[in-house]
Structure 1
Amino acid sequence: MDVRRIVQQASQTPAVRRRLRARATQVAARAKATAARQGLRQLSADIRVEEGTRPGTKAQGFQRPYARVVAPGAAKYERGTSRFDKYRLMLRAARAVSSR
């Protein structure tokens, strides 16, 4: 019995992908709402969830599904610059969802 193959197959099941998508959707919704409340409507509109499978090139061929929240151009709002305040929207959204 190859444990590695069993874990690989288990990580690719629809249930795992559904749970990853559900968590990412919760984080995205929280980040969108927070951005809209802060007056960052363009950033709020740009937030989305991406799904896929990591290629497994570095983990000895182990491929894992992922669902991530993407917000193009959010770095200046996350960390702040001389022109933008530091909002930390993604961090706050992820922490709020994980504490439930």
Structure 2
Amino acid sequence: MPTHNPLTLVLARKPGIEYRSISDSGFLASPDTGTLYHLNPTGSAIWHLLEQPTTHAEITSTLQAAFPNTPAELIVSDVKQIVTQLLERQLITIYP
């Protein structure tokens, strides 16, 4: 069975998930579970980047370009953590 590089998997928003912005944060609502999830500003930025299917690496690269004074290791770590949580909570999916 082939293994996939998680950085090159294409990620997409799960259809039906609702997003609401409040200040620089946001909230996701899952109609499947009735659960509300809070997104910090980085999570909200990632959600906006997922408007079109994109890879983990592209998300990281875009945020690094937008915030050149932020240590790259911090951006990589934050993106990994948020993407993992969004996948675990089934708010995003791996695009076919």
Whether these two folds match at TM > 0.5 is: no
Q: Going by fraction, where is strand more abundant, 1 or 2? A: 2
TM-score normalised by L of structure 1: 0.29
Q: Which structure shows the bigger proportion of residues in helix conformation?
A: 1
Which protein shows a greater Rg?
1
